[in-house]
Amino acid sequence: MKFSDKLLARLRRAESICVLTGAGISAESGVPTFRGGDGLWKKFKPEELANFDAFIRNPDVVWEWYAYRKKVIQEVVPNPAHVALAELEKLVTDFTLVTQNVDNLHRRAGSMRVLELHGNIERSYCISCRKKFPDVKPPDNRTAPRCDTCGGLIRPDVVWFGELLPQDVFAEAEKAAARCDLFLCIGTSAVVYPAAMLPSTALNHGAYLVEINAEYTDLSSRAHESLLGKAGTIVPAIVQALHTLRNPTP
């Protein structure tokens, strides 16, 4: 795969790289995205499912959706894009991986330091006493599980619409975006805030912004480069290019 001289120059001298990933990086593992063709939101409306009021109104329906997503995630494996980012983390001194995904695939691919802005579907907690439940299984995949200590409703440990992101995690992501020289935005429609602010933060601080996506997005007009194609092909190629730049064959 050929990259521009500008991107190669930025890769060669990059001391600090920040990466933001979205559902698109997990698509080739078989995890449905939210807004794509067969996206999750096509069948379900986000406002009907990914928010606290919907959960209180309809805990069983919301859990049916999360039980389905947890099942999908248990059946899939990280793809070459996840693996390449775990590799990239070892090659760059100051490397920060920020994800909007809740599927834990970056960690399963070997990434050691992952900033999860929207939580993690493999964790749950009781809404009444906040007791943590590592990987709860809804009794019959349809009924919302209850806390064995206080009987309260258990919810997935993800950030729903209208809920605050973990402030310490987001602050760290913002700092990484502000200090990086290269920002890679991979597989996100860049429409969910405040995560979607991170590429602009990087841009405003002089970073070279590269988008990797199957199609153009709201971000494309502001990115220095939009590399159209599959993350599973492009991301490994970028990491390979960095390897070659850093270890030129004699």
> Contact between 144 and Zn ion (CB under 5 A)?
no
Which residue is catalytic, options 106, 118, 205, 243? Answer: 118
Q: How is residue 55 written in tokens?
A: 């959960």
Please, which residue, 161 or 243, has the CB nearer to ligand BV8? Answer: 161
Which residue in the set 51, 58, 120, 128 belongs to the binding site for Zn ion (CB under 5 A)?
128
Using an 8 Å Cβ cutoff, are 183 and 211 in contact?
Answer: no
Out of 18, 67, 97, 126, point to the residue binding Zn ion (CB under 5 A).
Answer: 126
Query: Does residue 153 belong to the site contacting Zn ion (CB under 5 A)?
Result: no
Q: Which of 9, 56, 150, 171 binds Zn ion (CB under 5 A)?
A: 150
Closest of 118, 86, 121 to residue 100, by C-alpha: 118
Buried (b) or exposed (e) across 210-243, using 16+ Cβ within 10 A? bbbbbeebebeeebbebbeebbbebbbbbbebbe
For ligand BV8, the binding residues (CB under 6 A) are 22-24, 27-28, 33-36, 39, 50, 100-102, 118, 158-164, 187-189, 191-194, 213-215, 217, 230-231
CA distances (Å), origin 71, targets 6, 21, 76, 170: 42, 21, 9, 28
- Among ligand BV8, Zn ion, none, what binds residue 26 when CB lies within 5 to 8 Å by partner kind? none
Residue with the closest Cβ to ligand BV8?
24
Considering CB distances under 5 to 8 angstroms, the limit depending on partner class, which of Zn ion, ligand BV8, none binds residue 79? none
Q: How far is Cα 225 from Cα 16, in angstroms, rounded to an integer?
A: 18
Is 82 among the residues known to form the active site? no
* Nearest partner of 144 among 8, 238, 19, 49, judged by Cα: 49
* Residues annotated catalytic, as ranges: 118
